[in-house]
A and B are shown apart, each in its own frame.
Chain A
Amino acid sequence: MTAGAPPHPGVRRRFPGRFPGRLVARARQIGPGAWALAVLCTVLFVWPVAMIAVAAFHDGLISDPGGTWTAGPFVETLSDPGTLAVLGQSVLLAGVVSILSMLIAAVFAWMVARTDVPLRGLVTPLMLLTMVSPNLFFAISWDMLGNPRVGLVNQVIMAVTGADQGPVDITSWPGLVFVCVLKAVGFNYFLILAPFLAMDRSLEEASLVSGMGKVRTFFRVHVPLLAPALLGALLMAFVSFLEAFDFPQIIGLPAGIRVFSTEIYRYISGDAGGRYAEASSLALVLMAIIVVLIAVQSRVLGRRRYTTMSGKSYRTERWSLGPVRWLGTAVIALHALLALVLPLVQLYIGSFQSFFGLYDNWTLDNYRRVLDDPDTINAIVTTFGLAFFGGFVTMFLCVVLAWVIRTRPGLVSRYIGGALWVTVTVPGIVLGMGIMWSFLAVPGLNQLYATVWIMLIGLVIAAVPVAVRTAEGSVAQIPPEFEEAARVSGAGRVRAFLGLILRLLIPSFGYGWLVAAILISGNLAVPLLLASPDVDTVAIEVLNLNRSGDTATAAALFGLLLAVWGALAVLALLARAVGRRLKENR
Chain B
Amino acid sequence: MKHLFRAASAMAVAGAFALTAACGGSAGTTVGADQLDLAPLKVDAPTAAHLKDLYTKATDGGDTKIVAYMQGWEQYQKVWEAFEKRFPGITTKGLAINGPELSTKLSTERSSGKHVGSLLGGPDFQRKDVLRTLDLPTAATLDPAYREDSGVFYAPTTTVWGIEYNAEKVTGADVPKKWADLLDPKWKGRIVAGDATTPSATSGTLIRLYGGHAIDDAWLDRLKAQDVTFKSSLEIADQAVARGEFDILLTTLSDFYFPSKTKGAPIGFAFPLEDGNVSTPTYFAALKDGAAPEATELLMNWLFTAEAQQAFAGINALPTMPGAPAVQGLVPLDQVKLLDIPGPEEITSLWDPMTAKFKDVFGSPKG
Physical interaction between A and B: yes
Query: Which residues from chain A sit less than 8 Å from chain B, CB to CB?
Result: 61, 63-64, 147-150, 171, 253-256, 268-274, 354-358, 361, 365, 374-375, 377-378, 381-382, 384-392, 436, 439-440, 446-447, 449-453, 456, 503, 506-507, 509-510, 513, 532-535, 544, 547-551, 579
Are B112 and A447 closer than 8 Å at their CB atoms? yes
Closest 3 CB pairs of A and B: A273-B100, A385-B18, A388-B15
Asked if B114 is an interface residue, CB under 8 A from chain A, the answer is yes
Q: A355-B239, A510-B4 are in contact. Are A385 and B265 (CB under 8 A)?
A: no
Task: For A510, list chain B residues within 8 Å (CB).
Answer: 4, 8
How long is the Cα–Cα vector from A450 to B99 in the complex, in angstroms? Answer: 20
Are B108 and A392 closer than 8 Å at their CB atoms? no
Contact with A along B31-69 (1 / 0, CB 8 A): 000000000000000000000000000000000010100
Are B238 and A385 closer than 8 Å at their CB atoms? no
Q: A273-B103, A547-B232 are in contact. Are A452 and B111 (CB under 8 A)?
A: no
Are A551 and B104 closer than 8 Å at their CB atoms? no
Q: How far is the CB of B48 from chain A (nearest CB, A)?
A: 29
Task: For A382, list chain B residues within 8 Å (CB).
Answer: 18-19, 22
Are A506 and B25 closer than 8 Å at their CB atoms? no
Who on chain B is nearest to A393 by CB?
B12
Q: How far is the CB of A567 from chain B (nearest CB, A)?
A: 15
Task: For B15, list chain A residues within 8 Å (CB).
Answer: 384-392
Task: For B232, list chain A residues within 8 Å (CB).
Answer: 253-254, 547
Asked if B236 is an interface residue, CB under 8 A from chain A, the answer is yes
Q: How far is the CB of B255 from chain A (nearest CB, A)?
A: 14
Are A271 and B108 closer than 8 Å at their CB atoms? no
Q: Would you give 24 A-B contacts (Cβ < 8 Å), ordered by A? A: A61-B108, A270-B100, A271-B100, A273-B103, A355-B243, A355-B263, A355-B265, A356-B243, A357-B244, A374-B26, A388-B12, A389-B18, A436-B108, A446-B113, A449-B108, A506-B1, A534-B25, A534-B65, A534-B93, A534-B116, A535-B23, A547-B232, A549-B237, A549-B238
B93, B99, B117: which contacts A375 (Cβ < 8 A)?
Answer: B93
Which residues of chain B in 1-18 are interfacial with respect to chain A, using CB atoms and an 8 Å cutoff? 1, 3-5, 8, 11-12, 14-18
Contact with A along B97-123 (1 / 0, CB 8 A): 101110111011101111011000000
Are B367 and A254 closer than 8 Å at their CB atoms? yes
Extra pairs beyond A61-B111, A547-B233 (16, CB < 8 Å) = A150-B243, A273-B104, A274-B104, A357-B239, A375-B26, A377-B26, A381-B21, A381-B22, A449-B112, A451-B23, A506-B8, A510-B4, A535-B22, A549-B236, A550-B239, A579-B3
How long is the Cα–Cα vector from A514 to B99 in the complex, in angstroms? Answer: 39
Are B11 and A388 closer than 8 Å at their CB atoms? yes
Asked if B242 is an interface residue, CB under 8 A from chain A, the answer is yes
Query: Which residues from chain B sit less than 8 Å from chain A, CB to CB?
Result: 1, 3-5, 8, 11-12, 14-19, 21-23, 25-26, 65, 67, 74, 91, 93-97, 99-101, 103-105, 107-109, 111-114, 116-117, 197-198, 232-233, 235-240, 242-245, 260, 263-265, 364-367
How long is the Cα–Cα vector from A439 to B91 in the complex, in angstroms? Answer: 28
How long is the Cα–Cα vector from A360 to B236 in the complex, in angstroms? Answer: 20
Are B18 and A446 closer than 8 Å at their CB atoms? no
How long is the Cα–Cα vector from A61 to B109 in the complex, in angstroms? Answer: 11
Q: How far is the CB of B191 from chain A (nearest CB, A)?
A: 15
Are A506 and B4 closer than 8 Å at their CB atoms? yes
Are B367 and A269 closer than 8 Å at their CB atoms? no
How long is the Cα–Cα vector from A256 to B367 in the complex, in angstroms? Answer: 9
How long is the Cα–Cα vector from A487 to B288 in the complex, in angstroms? Answer: 59
Q: How far is the CB of B109 from chain A (nearest CB, A)?
A: 8
Are B198 and A386 closer than 8 Å at their CB atoms? no
Q: How many contacts between A and B, using CB within 8 angstroms?
A: 184
Are A513 and B22 closer than 8 Å at their CB atoms? no
Are B19 and A549 closer than 8 Å at their CB atoms? no
Are A256 and B364 closer than 8 Å at their CB atoms? yes
Q: A356-B243, A381-B21, A392-B11 are in contact. Are A171 and B366 (CB under 8 A)?
A: yes
B26, B101, B116: which contacts A450 (Cβ < 8 A)?
Answer: B116
Task: For B265, list chain A residues within 8 Å (CB).
Answer: 354-355, 358
Q: A273-B103, A548-B235 are in contact. Are A509 and B8 (CB under 8 A)?
A: yes
Are B236 and A354 closer than 8 Å at their CB atoms? no
How long is the Cα–Cα vector from A55 to B58 in the complex, in angstroms? Answer: 38
Are B243 and A357 closer than 8 Å at their CB atoms? yes
Q: How far is the CB of A256 from chain B (nearest CB, A)?
A: 6
Are A63 and B366 closer than 8 Å at their CB atoms? no
Q: A385-B19, A388-B18 are in contact. Are A532 and B101 (CB under 8 A)?
A: no
Q: A388-B12, A440-B112, A446-B112 are in contact. Are A272 and B100 (CB under 8 A)?
A: yes
Task: For B5, list chain A residues within 8 Å (CB).
Answer: 503, 506
Q: A149-B244, A355-B242 are in contact. Are A446 and B8 (CB under 8 A)?
A: no
B101, B233, B365: which contacts A273 (Cβ < 8 A)?
Answer: B101
A63, A64, A255, A389: which contacts B16 (Cβ < 8 A)?
Answer: A389
Task: For A506, list chain B residues within 8 Å (CB).
Answer: 1, 4-5, 8
Q: How far is the CB of A9 from chain B (nearest CB, A)?
A: 28
Task: For A254, list chain B residues within 8 Å (CB).
Answer: 232, 365-367
Task: For A547, list chain B residues within 8 Å (CB).
Answer: 232-233, 236
Task: For A450, list chain B residues within 8 Å (CB).
Answer: 109, 112, 114, 116
Q: How far is the CB of B226 from chain A (nearest CB, A)?
A: 18
Task: For A384, list chain B residues within 8 Å (CB).
Answer: 15, 18
Q: How far is the CB of B115 from chain A (nearest CB, A)?
A: 9
Q: How far is the CB of B165 from chain A (nearest CB, A)?
A: 15
Task: For A535, list chain B residues within 8 Å (CB).
Answer: 22-23
How long is the Cα–Cα vector from A450 to B113 in the complex, in angstroms? Answer: 11
Task: For A375, list chain B residues within 8 Å (CB).
Answer: 26, 93
Among A256, A355, A386, A544, chain B packs the most CB atoms within 10 A around the CB of A355
Are A256 and B112 closer than 8 Å at their CB atoms? no
Are B111 and A446 closer than 8 Å at their CB atoms? yes
Q: A390-B15, A449-B114 are in contact. Are A255 and B366 (CB under 8 A)?
A: yes
Q: How far is the CB of B5 from chain A (nearest CB, A)?
A: 6
How long is the Cα–Cα vector from A535 to B21 in the complex, in angstroms? Answer: 11
How long is the Cα–Cα vector from A240 to B232 in the complex, in angstroms? Answer: 27
Are B242 and A274 closer than 8 Å at their CB atoms? no
